[in-house]
Structure 1
Amino acid sequence: MNHPLLSLRDGPIARLRLNRPELHNAFDAVLIAALTGALEAVGADPGVRVVVIEGEGASFSAGADLNWMRGMAAAGEAENREDALALARLMRTLNELPKPTLARVHGAAFGGGVGLVACCDIAIGVPEAKFGLTESKLGLLPAVISPYVIEAIGARQARRWFATAEIFDATVAQSIGLLHQVVPAESLDAAVARQTGLLLKAGPHAAATAKTLVRRVAGERDGGKLDNDNAALIAGLRASAEGQEGLSAFLDKRSPSWTV
């Protein structure tokens, strides 16, 4: 039996590839645990600068494995709660990973697959990609992934797609903020490479901290605290070794030391 997740390295780029192509990379407890563990490992690896999430075969991820869902339907509420918390841990680990993340999306991205896309910092897909938050068809809701999907597409859009379970295409996904870019299938790898190249030109700490800054600013309602926190952040960055190197390289008209 194939391992449900492939962990591939290309220098400072870690590629985590869902590897259940015969099931369109559907989630089950084993895949959730494997992906969570792999994310924790690359998050702690100083040699990793960028993480790409992708799928093997025809799809990115078609959501929940039917056999897994059948087992959960037969389980009690306490077991279902623990199962849901494992998925929540995966999504939060990806969303808060201290590395820039990029989703390479093709084929189907349903349910938890949409959650993975929403948790990544950058998402690029092909025109043929299909998306759906289809849980309401089963009398359920995408509760665990909802914080990340709502953050990506906004509350008004989420109210529609959560309720209708309608399938939508890559053009709509881009228009509502789930995808940043849509490119022809033959250009997908080049588009991903361009974004990873840009991330590798940025200061490693700065690129990794960007999401933390955005999350804090978006959630802070105290203007004075926000100004003080932002001033402290930029002061610390300017005084740091990375900030000093970046400024010196700019002034000296050379590439900084972290450029690959």
Structure 2
Amino acid sequence: MEQLPQCETLILEKQGPTLVITINRPDVRNAMSLQMVAELSTIFSEIENDISIRAAVLRGAGGHFCAGGDIKDMAGARSQKAGEGRDDPFYKLNRAFGQMIQQVNESSKVVIAITEGAVMGGGFGLACVSDLAIAGPTAKFGMPETTLGVIPAQIAPFVVERIGLTQARRLALLGLRIDATEACKLGIVHQVAESEEQLSDMLNQALERVRLCAPDATAETKALLHRVGHEAMAGLLDDAAEKFAAAIRGPEGAEGTMAFMQKREPKWAELPNQ
């Protein structure tokens, strides 16, 4: 990515092989507008085949990650002429978010979510599609949709994949809000920081691990993990063995083996983190 695109709802900062994406609507606790959805989708499309980007860090400005959907967009959809089925403005609004969150979920990059303050609704969904989620001490998580008379239509499947059906049912059907400690116990986040300094340290340690892992092997591994449970195991393992053979005979496999033998870091680890 030679030049970062201009965004109205996001702040983009490239730090070596890492793209930091900061949701920047602090006046509404980073509520997710249609424009933000479109901009996130554009960014993840652009970095997908960008070999200079190894990780994408998602975080929010002003002490909050994302408080959910934007009420103004909801009001705008309500003011439009009602349509039938997929012509309904509310369908289009909701489904656009689902397409974006699926795109983030399936990104070949390592996606890291830094969650602070409000992590609700769509923000909760984004946390659930990250490869690594780290929570700050102020983070509060929830699926409040049922308390508002609506349903978590696009995030629910990803929440189930993240924490299992029984816990997803408890959170969604009771509209619960939980703290970072419980979120970690449930597997929504992987680590909880007790301070901003510790949060920064945890992120830097994670990015250091990303640096040491081969980018193509990482992408292939992530794609393989996403297939588990959706395909017959025998066929999946057959295909995985083919990919293993291709990897070990490929440039990364050769370099990784040579680096191990020579007791040095592989060449892909030479990319700076800053």
Aligned to 2:20: 15
SS at match of 2:229: helix
Aligned to 2:4: none
Aligned to 1:72: 77
Give the Å deviation of 1:88: 1.2
Aligned to 1:236: 246
Say if 2:74 and 2:90, in contact at 8 Å, map to a contact too: no
- Write out per-residue CA displacement over residues 95-141 of structure 1, whole angstroms, 9 at most, x where no aligned residue: 01111110011111000001110111110001321011000011111
1:92/1:223 CA distance change after superposition, 3 Å: closer
- Write out per-residue CA displacement over residues 124-178 of structure 1, whole angstroms, 9 at most, x where no aligned residue: 0013210110000111111111221111111111111111111111111111110
Say if 1:50 and 1:200, in contact at 8 Å, map to a contact too: no
Say if 1:25 and 1:62, in contact at 8 Å, map to a contact too: yes
Counterpart CA distance in 2 for 1:218 and 1:51 is 26
- Write out per-residue CA displacement over residues 23-75 of structure 1, whole angstroms, 9 at most, x where no aligned residue: 11001111111111111112222210111001011200000122222223344
Matches within 5 A, 1:33-72: 33-72=38-77
**Structure 2: runs of 5+ lacking an equivalent:** 1-6
Instruction: Tell me which amino acid in the other structure corresponds to 1:211.
Output: K
Structure 2 length-normalised TM: 0.90
After superposition, the CA RMSD in angstroms is 1.3
Size of the aligned set, in residue pairs, is: 258
Aligned to 1:205: 216
Aligned to 1:115: 125
- Write out per-residue CA displacement over residues 72-97 of structure 1, whole angstroms, 9 at most, x where no aligned residue: 33442521111122101110110011
Counterpart CA distance in 1 for 2:201 and 2:224 is 28
SS at match of 2:56: strand
**Structure 1: runs of 5+ lacking an equivalent:** none
Aligned to 1:218: 229
In the TM superposition, structure 1's runs of 4+ consecutive aligned residues that sit over 4 Å from their partners are none
Aligned to 1:196: 207
Counterpart CA distance in 2 for 1:252 and 1:218 is 39
Counterpart CA distance in 2 for 1:51 and 1:213 is 19
* Partner residue of 1:88 out of 94, 98, 104: 98
Give the Å deviation of 1:6: 0.9
Say if 1:103 and 1:122, in contact at 8 Å, map to a contact too: yes
Matches within 5 A, 1:88-237: 88-186=98-196, 187-220=198-231, 222-237=232-247
Counterpart CA distance in 1 for 2:221 and 2:124 is 22
1:248/1:218 CA distance change after superposition, 3 Å: farther
SS at match of 1:218: coil
Give the Å deviation of 1:227: 2.4
* Partner residue of 2:33 out of 18, 22, 28: 28
